[in-house]
Chain A
């Protein structure tokens, strides 16, 4: 085999030499494909000095090598390596090239493994050795299925572990970590030296003299763990010693290792040194990692704080210690501010003015009992949350969140600390702690004093913070009616200070009301300012604050039937008004003696037999079954069904996506049928220009609609995509036919036909698995006729298409489980302002845009802002990725600034701002499933994207903004 290959290489070589005689230009050389290895050989032979050779190699490395010629290139490199090279840097480059080449997709590097191992034997330079081992690692990772190869490589690595250079040892350990035998059984079968316990070999290097090697050893161990080897518990002791290492990267890796072990053996028992006691390993490890939270290096601190969060098996008393910090002052026990606050609260004298010496220390402490450096978990989080670096603080908050989610009692305890974090100096930390609090809100009830602190943050000038806090309040449990009152008062204060928060505050109060009906009940008279004897003036219905109060009350009243009795007359009127205008905030109420409220859907009907869903399916069935009606009947039925579906979507918000989707599909079908009914098909073309316009318009609209169907809905599966693409194909066929009938001459048709056939072909390639479901469809028939189509003339093709299009059946559109239509709502600018935004022409003005997006996948990539000027000029703006926030699943928020500019106008005028959803037919769901091409193929893949149609779908209502560019003053 090898001989044969060599021969081939030399054949290539000779060929190139001939070419060189003919034409000496280097360009020609590169053009001939298989000459790569030979060219390299020539270059290397030409090289007079090592520096030259290095240059050639560097140049060579920049170009990709085809799979076929990899082996030849490798041979040449190796030959050069053996024979010529005395310079270490060139050998190093060759070694690295070997690694690079063996990565080439489709190349199996087992043939060069022996050579690579052989080169190792005679190599003296440590750097080259390390590089060669790296190459072996690449080879090994490509041949993981072959245990004997792996064994051999591990053996080689073990042999070089005694090398004096850290680099070599590093690589050896890495190699062992990546390739070491994981399954016990295999290790026994292959009775070789390398079958020795890899763990022991690696473990021996835990106290290597070089910190880099120590780190590599721990990393190798972790690698083994990741590959599924069960690490031995004996390592634990060694790992614990490494925690006290001088080097931060070692400590950082050791913390990870300890964590891994604690997850593997949580329940085993380890002794506590210097005492007879024993504790569970996970507790011990927890204590040790906690200790690392006050390490000298912040990298280690972050690592430790992060890992703490995932140690859920730890015993509760250990966990609670992390929040414990015994205070003392002059050797007397002092209570923490948290404890004092709690006491004040429980003794009932909340918010007393504090006196000097209130925190005076009381009890004496036994000096012997104070342990200043606890070996355990004491105060780890207290330290972590107070850390200098915000990275550590964030990690600590995250860990706190994870632990609190799994332990309600811990959640209760960590509350004070989380609340404290609301005042952190870095906004990110504040935000993170608010989110954390929201996540654990099921487990906690806020005390009044805590609520007080939480609410104080409502005045924060950052909108993100305020909104996060509103979200938090939505799902918070409050314990007393004073708490509710406090929250309401603060929210109203927030509302007056930041009127833009209106929606968010209303929503917050909605949940607050519905969660605490009994607490709201006693507050109602006060809130509505009703009086038992006197009529009070009717409040202003447009006052956002009043609306806020009503939202709270009405939502509480939903589950508290006695509440409406407390309402005064105007309250009922206002209810009716709000129920209509803000129906998403005000629930239906059953009010005594009022007909105003109609809630036909009684909650007793369970959703699984939802009649509206049934209706949807029934109407679809009807359409699909009645295929053989006369064309007129079909059209009518489709029209009715579309109307029904659209109405259904308006009524049932949860079915809106589904209904709209199907309606759009039926609409497409309807258009298609209508277009095919046209008389133009029977008459000579030039006479029917008008109808022809109708048909081509229909084709165009169908195309547009299919893009909408494909890209505007989330939850669309492959089954639907096929149908959509099929519809699109039909539309294109229609387009082709129309063009064929209206244009004279055949030349333009050639191109179109070819393109269409290509599309059919690509359709077949993409959806080959779905084709069996499409019996009798347009494409099915088309594919049957494919051989004929390819060979026939355009006019014939058109004829065939026309008949198939007419004969093809109507495809059934299966519905996915859930389907949501992407939608956007621009909150700001509101478009109500009469004051034009004035700015000097030629300069820019920033317009704040705030919008909510729902069910948009990957908004960072797809959502664009469009500005339309009165002169028809349109501007497309790509918002920054950071402008998108993700407040909940399926929801996004776009808060960005749009820069406007224009030349001077005489009058203020309105511009339109709207959001667009950009799509690229290439990035469609179908093609995304094709695996990503590797680097060598990526070049070929590039031009393909040019075929993809890029477009945009407007998906929000346009908002008008009044602007006035003034002429610049001289």
Chain B
């Protein structure tokens, strides 16, 4: 039986280091190639030795697909392609291809320049790696080789995030990457057609969460910022450079525009500016509003948001500043935080999750006195707010996607085991499909039941459908023909054509059967009786009495002879070809019952 094998090298019952191996109909595909944020040793990259101990990876993998530019989905790519060695194609969408190297370079800088690690990939390696990338468009079917084809669907989440359908023959797998089913201020919602894949590999970050409406969150956020600014306070919003930052920018920008506010908004420069440029370019990947209005004005060309300069932090009066990094653990955001923390008019809004140990986490958990480097004690008087803007689908969203795609099997990755357990149970209960959640390194095998396409000649099809009733929709129909399997293709042709093609002569197959009947009368009288009987029973068939004393029912021949020993017993010879098997056997059983009495 054909099977699909899935082995997560990362992201199996875990978040981070997404890397999933799929082998489908003899093709091996690697989905995502990410790094793990939590580790600094070898564990940060997937264990590629699982694929092969020695020898090039290229021989074992047909292609690599990257769903989006987050480092936990693409961070290991240069290591994988340049240091381990892979020369095959790497597929990603255009925005991902554009933004990915910026992030990789940034990551490399932090690891090598700041932390001083050696044996890490170099800038050149990133460049070389990106040369192997093939960019794809949404809904474009890319033929990797003759059999393997992939197709990207919109996934929301971040700019350029995509879900991929991998298809070989009739078997298909859909990998969602990270996706978002509720649209936000700059991206639309994930969408997939009813492609009914054999397997859907979906993320499950929020497997046990159903989120509140985003409008409340947005409104709260805007209200807080607005109030603080009106009071004359300063607002600090620590953000990660990409993704949420743009959403919040758009949110504030439109709000400023709508409400005619004058207070300045700043954006800490660097990475983000470069990234904003790409957001401006890839308008087709954004949501309806931005797509529709960009002719008048590109929403990412911010009117109110300006580049931040270090000196601005001391300016009097209200302002809003977006600064990296998001968890307040270092860099510009921390500097600004230290300057502003003493004033109760000011406010810091944490838009995302903070890892334990960071300043962000400390202030969120209510700590008001922080110990900074140099034994300084920083008293936090400013207001601290938490606002969750996450771009993953929640439990309902995941279910909605499954409903849209109608897969035959579901496999959960990118989530915590405990939460997956719950979702798995729900999926099995509500959709009645199998659901799997393999751990890292664990292989899941899914048996598929692919339909096999067979070519049928038009003549035969027309002939066969003409026989019998109307073509009844969605019901299997019986057809007679000859299946020819030749050169990896299947064809259904009429028997005559098959004979001709194969150069075979036609053989006739006849069944003959003798039936003994007790009848003292003469032969021709018996024949007449049989004829009358048959004529009476088989009203729909043409029953004929031939002059040579035989009877034909359709093409079945019946002859009667007297038994050589017993004249009272007549022997009926029934003969039919194999095509008439049904009628022939029916006739014999009918005759075996004997003739009714007194019919003559």
CB-based contact A461/B209 at 8 Å:
no
CB-based contact A372/B426 at 8 Å:
yes
In the complex formed, the residue of B with least CB distance to A358 is B386
Which of A162, A330, A497 has the most chain B CB atoms closer than 10 A to its own CB? A330
CB-based contact A461/B257 at 8 Å:
yes
Given contacts A390-B289, A456-B223, A460-B259, A330 and B419 within 8 Å (CB-CB): yes
Chain A residues, Cβ within 8 Å of B287: 388
Q: In the A-B complex, list the 7 residue pairs whose CB atoms are closest, starting with the nearest.
A: A337-B216, A388-B183, A420-B215, A459-B259, A331-B208, A372-B399, A209-B473
Of the A-B pairs whose beta carbons lie under 8 Å apart in the complex, a sample of 30, sorted by A's number, is: A246-B194, A296-B191, A296-B192, A296-B194, A325-B210, A326-B210, A328-B209, A330-B208, A330-B209, A334-B212, A336-B216, A337-B213, A337-B220, A353-B383, A356-B364, A356-B386, A367-B425, A370-B426, A372-B210, A372-B395, A373-B403, A382-B213, A385-B215, A420-B213, A421-B215, A423-B215, A423-B218, A424-B215, A459-B260, A461-B257
CB-based contact B219/A423 at 8 Å:
yes
Within the complex, the shortest CB–CB distance from A925 to chain B, in Å, comes to 42
CB-based contact A331/B422 at 8 Å:
yes
Further pairs besides A296-B193, A337-B220, A388-B183: 16, Cβ < 8 Å: A246-B194, A294-B400, A325-B210, A325-B213, A328-B210, A330-B208, A338-B216, A353-B383, A356-B365, A373-B400, A388-B287, A420-B219, A423-B215, A423-B218, A423-B222, A425-B185
Within the complex, the shortest CB–CB distance from B238 to chain A, in Å, comes to 15
Q: Does B258 contact A (CB under 8 A)?
A: yes
Q: Does A697 contact B (CB under 8 A)?
A: no
Which of A327, A367, A373 has the most chain B CB atoms closer than 10 A to its own CB? A373
Q: Does B217 contact A (CB under 8 A)?
A: yes
Chain B residues, Cβ within 8 Å of A387: 183
Q: Does B404 contact A (CB under 8 A)?
A: yes
Select B384's contact among A325, A356, A426, beta carbons within 8 Å.
A356
Chain A residues, Cβ within 8 Å of B384: 356
Which of A337, A379, A423, A424 has the most chain B CB atoms closer than 10 A to its own CB? A423
Please encode chain A, from 675 to 714, with 1 for each CB lying within 8 Å of some chain B CB and 0 for all others.
0000000000000000000000000000000000000000
- In angstroms, Cα B384 to Cα A327, docked, is 24
Chain A residues, Cβ within 8 Å of B188: 388
In the complex formed, the residue of A with least CB distance to B384 is A356
Given contacts A337-B217, A461-B259, A497-B260, A327 and B365 within 8 Å (CB-CB): no
Given contacts A387-B183, A390-B289, A355 and B366 within 8 Å (CB-CB): yes
Given contacts A355-B366, A459-B259, A388 and B396 within 8 Å (CB-CB): no
Please encode chain B, from 160 to 184, with 1 for each CB lying within 8 Å of some chain A CB and 0 for all others.
0000000000000000000000110
- In angstroms, Cα B288 to Cα A691, docked, is 72
Q: Does A386 contact B (CB under 8 A)?
A: yes
- In angstroms, Cα B585 to Cα A379, docked, is 63
Chain A residues, Cβ within 8 Å of B218: 423
Which A residues form the contact surface with B (CB < 8 A)? 162, 207-209, 246, 294, 296, 325-331, 334, 336-338, 353-357, 367, 370-373, 379, 382, 385-390, 417, 420-421, 423-426, 453, 456, 459-462, 497
Which of A296, A326, A355, A371 has the most chain B CB atoms closer than 10 A to its own CB? A296
Q: Does B371 contact A (CB under 8 A)?
A: no
- In angstroms, Cα B260 to Cα A162, docked, is 65
Chain B residues, Cβ within 8 Å of A462: 258
Within the complex, the shortest CB–CB distance from A238 to chain B, in Å, comes to 13
Q: Does B470 contact A (CB under 8 A)?
A: yes
- In angstroms, Cα B403 to Cα A485, docked, is 50
- In angstroms, Cα B287 to Cα A26, docked, is 59
Within 8 A of A (CB), among B361-392: 364-366, 383-386
Given contacts A373-B399, A420-B213, A296 and B219 within 8 Å (CB-CB): no
CB-based contact B211/A327 at 8 Å:
yes
- In angstroms, Cα B287 to Cα A456, docked, is 26
Chain B residues, Cβ within 8 Å of A373: 396, 399-400, 403, 430
In the complex formed, the residue of A with least CB distance to B217 is A337
Select B385's contact among A327, A334, A354, beta carbons within 8 Å.
A354
Q: Does B463 contact A (CB under 8 A)?
A: no
In the complex formed, the residue of B with least CB distance to A365 is B208
CB-based contact B213/A385 at 8 Å:
yes
Chain A residues, Cβ within 8 Å of B396: 325, 372-373, 379
Chain B residues, Cβ within 8 Å of A331: 208, 419, 422
Q: Does B5 contact A (CB under 8 A)?
A: no
Q: Does B115 contact A (CB under 8 A)?
A: no
- In angstroms, Cα B216 to Cα A209, docked, is 46
- In angstroms, Cα B470 to Cα A207, docked, is 14
- In angstroms, Cα B210 to Cα A866, docked, is 59
Select B208's contact among A329, A355, A357, A420, beta carbons within 8 Å.
A329
Q: Does B284 contact A (CB under 8 A)?
A: no
Within the complex, the shortest CB–CB distance from A423 to chain B, in Å, comes to 5
Q: Does B329 contact A (CB under 8 A)?
A: no
Chain A residues, Cβ within 8 Å of B593: none
Q: Does B214 contact A (CB under 8 A)?
A: yes
Q: Does B513 contact A (CB under 8 A)?
A: no
- In angstroms, Cα B184 to Cα A425, docked, is 10
Chain A residues, Cβ within 8 Å of B419: 330-331
Within the complex, the shortest CB–CB distance from B425 to chain A, in Å, comes to 7
Within the complex, the shortest CB–CB distance from A379 to chain B, in Å, comes to 8
Within the complex, the shortest CB–CB distance from A543 to chain B, in Å, comes to 22
